[in-house]
Amino acid sequence: MIKQFLLGSILLSSSVFCMGQNTVQLEFDSEQTIIINKHIYGHFAEHLGRCIYDGFYVGESNTTIPHTKGVRNDVVDALKKLQIPNLRWPGGCFADTYHWKDGIGKKESRPTIVNNWWGGVTEDNSFGTHDFLDMCELLATEPYLAGNVGSGEVQELADWVQYVNFSGKGPMSDLRKLNGREDPWNVKYWGVGNEAWGCGGNMTPEYYSDIYRKYSTFMADWDNSGGLYRIASGASGDDYHWTETLMKKIPSSLMKGVALHHYAVIDWSKKGPSIDFTEEQYFKTMKSAWFMNELIEKHSAIMDKYDPKGKIDLVVDEWGGWYEVEVGTNPGFLYQQNTMRDAMIAGMTLNIFNNHARRVKMANLAQTINVLQAVILTEGEKMLLTPTYHVMEMYKVHQDATLIPLKLISEDFTFMDERIPAVSASASQNVDGTTHISLVNIDPKSPKKISVDMGEIKAKTVGGRILSAKKLRDYNSFQEPEKISPRRFTAATLTNGKIEVEIPPFSVVVLHLN
């Protein structure tokens, strides 16, 4: 069976065509332009396992790993190449146990706490507000601070905003200057709690809505003259009642974004291995990843009901694959390998985000280094880039480009009696007129021939890059750090406004047309 989808809009009814037909119809309308917000390509760094310590941060006294104020130079270089637009910190669940004043001032005087969420390790607070915000300046990225609502107080969060953003004379700005920073960082993006339905306090949506209104009120002045982009702790997966309650109870003057969290998980009690997964586990992971499309459509429909003008954004600030940890590692550190399966999750999910760019304005892959679907892994002085990194690097051409809506007809990827689309796609045009088309074939066995009708888009040449591997379970290791990396793709032809292309099994292709 082959299914027809109008991506970025509505799901059409199934239609049957001759087998082997996969088509993409570009439907660009210069009168109705939507920009793919670069912040869809954001990242997430939590005080979890080896993400911050031994990931980003190796300490100012480190003499074996080149660094700037304790932050690894190779990590900075890699993330700058990725052009990450924002970085979310300090959590995650950790955010609602984090008291920001513990992480400022002289490091030897900072109190320690126990990180009960992740491994029960001692957190010495040596990486705090100054360290993170200075690192964001190194990365040329926007900081996204997640405030403590679960165990913190309103005044604590209000003081944090004053500390990092206020330029005049006041108790918090004076304290910032005393700690060595004269000018404010002017942080725009603020999460008002995290997963309030779970680790952020096990709240009901009705209760959290009232709490949110209180905290967001004291974070800014009457007119929000500081321009804070306040993000509410949103739903877990398909909890549509949560989204409806927030949209109904919180005015748009207090809320710019509503979060959504969804991980591609087989079974929370038995998540499966990150490398030696079965064919069934692969299919179920892809099915869970594809569910993101339905989630965004249904949550967006609720938001449209209460916010038809689109003043409030959908922010998917946690997404990615989640498996069992690698054998021999701390279960609370969530360290997992990154195979071509993860490249499939990344390519498919980013296509979904691009196609829903009307409502989705920000997203954050979980997490940047050494945790879950990381883009970077480190081991002592060594660092490697994962298949997920390479997909995001290939897709960076979509950042702040104009979305080209498309109609996709895809063969099914089937397992037993279940099926999902084998092909996903998204397209955009950047300011210099270059068109980019991202194509993903998640079928682990069969290549896909795809015909792309350019419609009104004019182009004379087509080229591209591909990420593929010999085996679906292949990954980059510290012994073979470049086993998987993008290479030039030449198997696409352009004739009379149509592209004919065949992409291998489990591969990602980004075409560029001039």
163-204 confidence digits (pLDDT tens):
999 999 999 999 999 999 999 999 999 999 999 999 999 999
177 and 70 within one domain: yes
In-domain check, residue 223: no
Check which CATH number belongs to the domain holding 429 and give it.
2.60.40.1180
Which phi and psi angles does 130 have, rounded to 5°?
Answer: -60, -45
Residue from 400, 512, 397 nearest 457 by CA: 512
421 and 320 within one domain: no
In-domain check, residue 217: no
Residue from 483, 279, 302 nearest 377 by CA: 483
397 and 442 within one domain: no
Q: Which of 46, 123, 142, 318 is catalytic?
A: 318
485 and 384 within one domain: no
In-domain check, residue 105: yes
pLDDT value at residue 30: 76
Is the model's pTM score more than 0.75?
A: yes
**Could you tell me if 24 and 408 are in contact, meaning their C-beta atoms sit under 8 angstroms apart?**
yes
382 and 442 within one domain: no
Q: In this predicted model, what pLDDT tens digit does every residue of 47-71 receive, in sequence order?
A: 999 999 999 999 999 999 999 999 9
For residue 244, indicate whether it is catalytic: no
149 and 55 within one domain: yes
Q: In this predicted model, what pLDDT tens digit does every residue of 289-337 receive, in sequence order?
A: 999 999 999 999 999 999 999 999 999 999 999 999 999 999 999 999 9
Q: How far is it, in rounded angstroms, from Cα 186 to Cα 178?
A: 18
In-domain check, residue 296: yes
Cis check for the bond before 367: say yes or no (omega within 30 of 0): yes
Please write down the HEC assignment for all residues of 165-194: HCCCCCHHHHHHHHCCCCCCCCCCEEEECC
Q: How far is it, in rounded angstroms, from Cα 450 to Cα 132?
A: 44
385 and 272 within one domain: yes
Q: In this predicted model, what pLDDT tens digit does every residue of 208-258 receive, in sequence order?
A: 999 999 999 999 999 999 999 999 999 999 999 999 999 999 999 999 999
Q: In this predicted model, what pLDDT tens digit does every residue of 405-449 receive, in sequence order?
A: 999 999 999 999 999 999 999 999 999 999 999 999 999 999 999
User: 160: domain range?
Assistant: 35-201+228-402
Check which CATH number belongs to the domain holding 296 and give it.
3.20.20.80
Q: In this predicted model, what pLDDT tens digit does every residue of 7-49 receive, in sequence order?
A: 443 333 333 333 458 999 999 887 789 999 999 999 999 999 9
Residue 260 has pLDDT above 90, yes or no: yes
Mean pLDDT of all residues in 131-140: 98
Domain boundary among 385, 402, 419: 402
pLDDT value at residue 13: 31
**Could you tell me if 80 and 136 are in contact, meaning their C-beta atoms sit under 8 angstroms apart?**
no
SS3 content of the chain, % helix, strand, coil (to 5): 25, 30, 45
435 and 309 within one domain: no
Mean pLDDT of all residues in 153-162: 98
Domain boundary among 356, 386, 402: 402
Question: Over pLDDT 90: what percentage of the chain?
Answer: 95
Q: How far is it, in rounded angstroms, from Cα 27 to Cα 292?
A: 23
Q: How far is it, in rounded angstroms, from Cα 202 to Cα 392?
A: 34
167 and 102 within one domain: yes
Residues 6+ apart with CB under 8 A from 411: 2, 19, 20, 21, 22, 421, 422, 423, 443, 448
For residue 182, indicate whether it is catalytic: no
Mean pLDDT of the chain: 95
Is the pLDDT higher at 456 or at 4?
A: 456
In-domain check, residue 358: yes
Which phi and psi angles does 317 have, rounded to 5°?
Answer: -90, 10
343 and 319 within one domain: yes
Q: Domain total for the chain?
A: 2
In-domain check, residue 1: no
342 and 266 within one domain: yes
Mean pLDDT of all residues in 82-95: 98
pLDDT value at residue 20: 58
Domain boundary among 381, 402, 423: 402
In-domain check, residue 206: no
In-domain check, residue 70: yes
**Which is it for the CA torsion 7, 13, 18, 20, positive or negative?**
positive
373 and 308 within one domain: yes
Where helices occur in 26-170 by DSSP H, the ranges are: 73-82, 129-139, 154-165
pLDDT value at residue 51: 98
Q: Which of 195, 280, 500, 502 is catalytic?
A: 195
